[in-house]
Amino acid sequence: MEILGRIAAFLTEMDFAVLSTLSPGGPWISLMSYLPGEDGLTVCLAMATGSYKARLIRENPNVALLIDNRCRHDDPGRVTALGIYGTAAHVADHAASGQIVAAFRRRRPHLAEFLDRPDTGIVRVTPGSFQVFDGVDKGVFLKRGEAGWHYA
């Protein structure tokens, strides 16, 4: 499916996402640096394991991410926005977490001090659906089903 390749390329191209989790009082958002996972469609986030957002993810793993390229365009009609709705999980496997931290160090060297802290952990977001918008009115919605990805 061509759109999945486009999504993977967009995830590789961009640097920041807005993470939305659910708190008892409603949505809780955080600006996050991220890395695409090995499959190109999952998203890896580094965060303090004791942070409020980490606790919210442990309590309710349903999250949303918004990634856009508005900082690269003067014309709002040319902006691409990607919404990812999925499930977040703390990466408990030490070897897997270490590989992701090493990738963060290579791609996001400005995070080195944060990544070296003993309370920094990795959260992997597995997408259940994507919403892609080009400009304000050209959008597609994809959902993962039993047979794989399909337009919804």
Identify the CATH number of the domain in which residue 55 sits: 2.30.110.10
- Rounded Cα gap, residues 55 and 105, in angstroms: 24
Sign of CA dihedral 135, 138, 140, 141: positive
pLDDT score recorded for residue 78: 79
16 DSSP β-pair partners = 33
69-87 pLDDT per residue, tens: 988 877 777 789 999 999 9
- For residue 66, what pLDDT band results from cuts at 50, 70 and 90? very high
Q: Which two tokens stand for residue 51?
A: 């942070």
For residue range 6-42, list pLDDT tens digits in order: 999 999 999 999 999 999 999 999 999 999 999 999 9
Number of domains in the chain: 1
Q: What's the whole-model pTM score? A: 0.95
Q: Which range marks the domain in which residue 78 is found?
A: 2-151
